[in-house]
Every structure is written in C-alpha cells, then in structure tokens.
Amino acid sequence: MPGDQNFYSGNAYWASNLTGAVLNGSVPIWRLDDMATRIMASFYKVGLDKDRVEVNLDSWTTDVYGYRHWFAREGYGLINGNVDVRGNHATLIREIAAKGTVILKNTGNVLPLQKPRQIAVFGSDATDNPRGPNGCPDRACADGTVAMGWGSGTANFPYLISPLSALQNKAIADGTVIQWVVDDYATTHMHQVATQASACLVFVKAQAGEGYTIVDGNQGDRKNLTLWSNGEEVIRNVAANCNNTIVTIHSPGPVTMEEWIEHPNVTAVLYAGLPGQESGNSIVDVLYGLVEPGRLPFTIAKNATDYGVSLMYKPDNTYAPQQDLGGLLIDYRYFDKHEIEPRFEFGFGLSYTTWKYHKIVVRKINAGPYVPFNGRTPAARTTKVTESADSLLFPAEFHKVRFYNYPWLNKTSDVKQDGENGPADAYDPNGTATRPAGGAPGGNPGLYDILYEVNVTLSNTGKRNGEEVVQLYISQGESDDPVRVLRGFRRVSVNAGKSTTVTFTITRRDISRWDTATQNWVVSPAEKMVFVGRSSRDLPLVAKLNGERSQVGYSKNKPGRLGHGMKTFM
C-alpha cells in the first residue's frame, strides 16, 4: 500500500519505484528494513509461520471456481470454499443493532408496544429488496430496507431479516392483526390502511457509500439530508390518517426532520442507523421494549446549514473533495460554541424508564509531574545498500501476472539518479530524537497518568429495570477551546428503584491541549470543569476539578453557561 496511481493501471507509487528509491539514496536501506519489519511482525504475531490456511475467499466473485488472479484472468481453480465462520455472530449483531437504536420521540409513552389490536406497516424500507439482500453490487442501491452502506468495505448478507418479516412473526405470536403498504407512492391505499390501525409503523430511509459508485445521483456521500424514496410524503400521508404514527429511520447519518417531527400524530421516532442482517429482529426488540435503546453519536440539526460547513456538491480538486471542518469545532462542539439549538443533541436518547443524577465526587490523584521524553530511536542495523541494480532485475523466466506490483526492476535505467531527499535527520543511521510527546506507543506514557477519579450516583426512579448511558464531558476553560468535550461514557444496568455508583477516571491527556510551539501536550492554567449527565446538553452534575461540586447543573437553554445560581461546596 498504496497501490495503483490510477485504478487498474498497474502503475504503483511504490513497488519497483521503491526499489529504485533505495538504490539512488532517496530512501535509506534501514527505512526499508523498518517497513519490512512492521509487516513481518504482524505475520508472526498471528502465527502464520506455524499455521497457515489456504486462501479460500475471493472478493471479486461468489463463484466457487474461477480465476485466482481474477482481474488478470489467470490461474483457474477453487477460489471460494464457502467456509462458515459465523458462529454466534447473529446474536451479537442483533444486540448491537438494538442497543444502537435511539428513541428520539415517545409522546405519551406509546412505546413500548403492548400487543396492539392491529398494526400497519408503511414504506419500502420495511421490506425486502426484490432482487434479494445482495441484489445490488456492493449494496449500492436503496431498494427495500437499508441495512448496510455501499462500497468496497461492505459484505454479502448471509440473510437479511426485514422489519416487515420480523413484525409479522411478532404479530402472529401476539395475535395482532398486521397490514402493510410498501409502495412508497401508493398514497391512496396508505390512507385506507392507516385509518384502521391502532399503531402505524412507518419505515423511511437514506443511503450512502463510497464515491466510486453513484446511486440516484449521489456519488458516495448524500447530496442532501432529506429522506429518500418519498419518505417525507409517506410520513405526512400516514400521520394525516393515523393518530399513532411511529417512524423508524434507517440511514448512515442525520436527516432533517423539521417537516414532520412536530406533527401531533407522529407519536414516536426512532433512529436505527444501518443495523445489518438482524435489522428486523433488532427493531422489534426495541419497539416492544425487550432491549433498552441507545444514544445519538451525532447531532441532528434543524437545518443543514447549522452544521457550520458549506455543502459541497462537486469535488474541489481532481480526485477527492477537501472540506475545512473548522478545527476542533466539529458536530456538538460547533453547536455549543455558537449557541445553536439542535433538534436532537449529541448523546441524546430517550429511555423506557426514568433516571436521577444526584451526587458527584471528584478525587484528585497525585500522579507526579509530566516529563517530556528526550530519548532517541534505535540505531539502524544496516546502513549500506549491497545490491546492484543488475541484481534486482526480474528473475529469468519469471511469469508476471498482469496488473500485479513487483519489487524487481524492469531495467536498470529505471533507477533515476536525481532522487529527491527528505529532511536531513531522516538519513541519520544513528537514530533520531524522539519528540517530547513521544516515547511509547500512543505517545508519552505520562499522558495516560490518572489525575482525577470522578464518582457519580445514579438512580433508576422508574418502574422498569433499565440501562442508562452516563456521559462525562470536560471544559478546559480556554477561550478558543470547545465549550466542553466528551471524555467518557458508561452503559450501566440498574433495576427499578435502585441506585448505583459510576466511576470515571480522567487522564492527563483528557485535560491537555496541543502546543504548536513546544510540539507537546500541555495543561493550561484555565479552570477545568467536569460535567456528567444524559447528553451533551442534559448535564445535571457539575464539579470543578479541584474537588468542588455544584448544586445546579448545566442549563440546556444556554449551552455556553452553567445553570443560573450555581453554588459550590466542599
């Protein structure tokens, strides 16, 4: 890596170019040793020197037999052994998808469902792709329910449980009548079915993926934040005829909701992301209260422009778009800094029970001072190139597979003698000075010293056992810092009427900022505050990191300030 300079050209940045760069001195031989060592370390780490399995999976095709060098069309044989390595993955996938679903609205506690008399299901996102779960190459479409984005990082579904299939199974078990309309444009029939149901379940979607494929005019990223497949109209049409309309959104990120979120008949809204093969089962687990839902990993804005970046519809250079995201002020940090009211803030999510945060204690831990690192990297073992260009030509009779990258030279004249050099110290075989912030994997070990321990008391004040996602944010206090940043979270189970203590640790890294002058992490003298609560804007517990704590928490109406009338005591 990296591979071709252009897709399918076989012309690599490295391969024989790297060989030439070593021979002409542009890249030291000991740097090549380091590259090889990093690769072979992984080889030995996973035991491939002792136990190796023949390759039995081809990413180009699902055929059992075919070309082993698929793109070059060479080497016919067994290429897909169809080895089943799933084990109990489905159970974990279902749990993750359910616990990752977020309830955004639940008017009158219409959820969880309690064996309703009759339910109606609406929207093509509820049902199967007519061509099957893998009917679109690399999942590059939005036909049927959306459970995975598209691109080279996708996988083939072994199966896909649609919401409609899972809801039918649940309805049969409960004795519930179930009807459905999965044509997103059959508005007349939606009206007829919606008027009969005691709960109308609407499934809407958006889709995104990798930029090499265009789906409905969207090259990778979405070109807007609206719903696909007539989603807004489906919601409005059903809500106009059903006073208990429950909306589930499958999408790769935020969608705008202002057209319908406050409709009085839209009683519940769930964001279910891209849940994977157990999609239907996971959403049923949440709708019927078998699993406690999760919290938002991003902010949902009222307007697309609220995110603080200009919308880019075309690349601003020859290959990949470049977007200035404004330094540290990304997502909730931008909203807080500019006091923009979101529709749903980062970390938000409703629960099936109620919670009370009523105690915070900060304990300072004497970790000792932070010591900048001043060592050097090890000296190189090899410093001289012993091979000649002639010795690195392709071996005689060697068969080159088309489009493959090889380290051998085609001809000695490929080694250019005017190689470009890097920084002078990059060529020092005696090693280089380690930066003050370095010294170990992950940086200076002192960054991970624990400086504070924060204990909070949480009570489940409802009538159901539940799970809460406790979130800890820190304010570093400088004017150019974000108002506060997430520095920890815990998902904890608490039985109804019971309390628990949740413990967080704060490291030196958690309260440090990067200093460009010294090229190191520093802790500024500004006062540091810690906030704990249910979301980035629901933080009832506040304390100073010198051990003081407040009686009044963070005001949701003023994202840059503490609650009115804050008092501190030891």
193-212 tens-digit pLDDT: 999 999 999 999 999 999 88
**360 and 246 in a common domain:** no
- b/e string for 50-83 if b means 16 or more Cβ within 10 A? eeeeeeeebeeeeeeebbeeeeeeeeeeebbeee
- Band of pLDDT at residue 125, cut at 50, 70 and 90: very high
> Residue 564 pLDDT more than 60?
no
Looking at the structure, tell me whether residues 124 and 214 fall in a common domain: yes
Q: 33 is written with which tokens?
A: 């040793």
How far apart (Å, rounded) are the C-alpha atoms in residues 288 and 103?
12
In a domain, 82, yes or no: no
Asked if the structure places residue 317 within a domain, the reply is: no
Instruction: pLDDT band for 133, please (50, 70, 90 cuts).
Output: very high
Domain membership flag for residue 507: yes
In this structure, are 363 and 251 located in the same domain?
Answer: no
Does residue 343 form part of some domain? no
227, 363: one domain: no
User: What is the CATH number for 139?
Assistant: 3.40.50.1700
Same domain, residue pair 361 and 276: no
Asked if 246 and 361 sit in the same domain, the reply is no
pLDDT at 565: 28
- Do 243 and 363 lie in one domain? The reply is no
Model pLDDT for residues 517-540, shown as the tens digit of each residue: 999 999 999 999 999 999 999 999
Answer for the pair 355, 461: CB distance below 8 angstroms, yes or no.
yes
The pTM of the full predicted model, rounded to 2 decimals, is 0.90
Q: Do 223 and 142 meet the contact criterion of CB atoms below 8 Å apart?
A: no
Task: Evaluate if residue 552 carries a pLDDT over 60.
Answer: no
Tell which of 268, 293, 318 closes a domain: 293
467 and 553 co-located in one domain? yes
Instruction: Say what the pLDDT of residue 557 is.
Output: 44
Same-domain status, 359 and 287? no
- pLDDT tens for 66-118 read 999 988 999 999 999 999 999 999 999 999 999 999 999 999 999 999 999 99
HSE of 472, CA atoms in CB hemisphere, 13 A: 27
Instruction: Give yes or no: residues 362 and 213 share one domain.
Output: no
Model pLDDT for residues 449-505, shown as the tens digit of each residue: 999 999 999 999 999 999 999 999 999 999 999 999 999 999 999 999 999 999 999
Q: What is the CATH number of the domain that holds 494?
A: 2.60.40.10
Q: Is residue 208 part of a domain?
A: yes
- Tell me the per-residue pLDDT of 405-414, one tens digit each, with 9 for 90 and over: 899 998 998 8
Cis peptide before 342 (omega within 30 of 0): no
Q: Which domain holds residue 503?
A: 355-370+442-569
Whether 258 and 184 share a structural domain: yes
Which residue, among 294, 311, 213, 217, has the nearest Cα to 256 in the 3D structure? Answer: 311
Q: How confident is the model at residue 317, as a pLDDT? A: 67
The CA-to-CA distance between both ends of the chain, in Å, stands at 56
Number of domains in the chain: 2
Separation between Cα atoms, residue 329 and residue 334, nearest integer Å? 5
Could you tell me if 270 and 127 lie in one domain?
yes
Within a domain: 320: no
Looking at 242, 273, 293, the residue that finishes a domain is 293
pLDDT digits (tens, 9 = 90+) for 319-339: 666 777 768 999 999 999 999
Do the domain assignments include residue 9? no
Confidence at residue 275, expressed as pLDDT on a 0 to 100 scale: 98
pLDDT of 559 strictly over 60 = no
Q: By C-alpha distance, which of 308, 299, 307, 333 is closest to 475?
A: 333
Is the pLDDT score of 563 beyond 80?
A: no
Last residue of a domain, one of 293, 315, 345: 293
Q: Where is mean pLDDT largest: 117-131, 218-232, 427-441?
A: 117-131
Number of neighbours of residue 569 by Cβ within 10 angstroms: 7
pLDDT at residue number 567 = 28
> Distance between CA atoms of 318 and 545, rounded to whole angstroms?
49
